[in-house]
Amino acid sequence: MDWNWYLFRFEGRINRAKMWLAVLVILCWMIFLGVLIVTVGSAFGGPTSFELGLSDILRMLDPATYRSLSPTGLVQAGAKAIVMALFLWVCLATSIKRLHDRDRSGWWIVPFSAVPIFNERPDWLELSYAELPLGLAALALCIWGFVEMYFLKGSRKTNRFGPNPLQPVDTRPRWDQSREIEMVPHKAGPPPGWHVKRGHE
């Protein structure tokens, strides 16, 4: 399997099994990085905990976060931003390829991610009476997206995004016409010329 295409590129299609594999890969990366950060942090007096979520991504986008950090904190925040960008890229690349398998545009990832964004909205966005219907709509979109990407089969035929990833690949050698004909030397009998080999008639 081409891991570079699978984890980092947006074109093509992947099936449900590869989507679940992407979740496993990301979880393993997070566990490895968490253990590494905690180990290095406890040895050199750095951070001894590791958190990664949408709230952290939104905090990274807030300029006020960087004003209050020391130089060491800036380095740690920069490293965390790189790690989050990598995870986000892999999530988007695999999710979009899975949506392509369902013959849907990659832009469907936007409404399917409505619940986390809705739950992590800024403090200034108070929704009061409209909050319940919007929250229910966001939850319905999130559940629909989860079922769509992780449980439903993809298009059986080639769609606008490529061939079915579950279609068996024909590995037989292509028919070589020159291997099945031979030149018969001139003898008594039929005139010389091209004839089909015996056993291939």
Query: pLDDT band at residue 141, thresholds of 50, 70 and 90?
Result: confident
- Give percent of the chain with pLDDT exceeding 70: 57
Q: How many CA atoms lie within 13 A of 49 on its CB side?
A: 2
Q: How many residues does the chain have?
A: 201
* Within a domain: 67: yes
Domain containing 17 equals: 3-150
* Number of structural domains in the chain: 1
Look at the pTM and tell me if it is higher than 0.85: no
pLDDT of 196 strictly over 70: no
What is the amino acid identity at position 14?
I
Q: Could you report the per-residue pLDDT of 16-26, keeping only the tens digit for each?
A: 999 999 999 99
**Tokens found for residue 169:** 């690949």
* Within a domain: 174: no
Closest CA to 30 of 86, 76, 97: 86
Give the three-state DSSP class for 21. helix
Q: Which has the higher per-residue pLDDT, 3 or 132?
A: 3
Contact 99, 149 (CB under 8 A): yes
d(CA 59, CA 8): 24
Mean pLDDT score, 136-164: 90
* Within a domain: 168: no
* Within a domain: 143: yes
**Distances, alpha carbon 86 to alpha carbons 80, 81, 172, 177, in Å:** 10, 9, 39, 50
* Within a domain: 49: yes
* Within a domain: 200: no
* Within a domain: 7: yes
* Within a domain: 42: yes
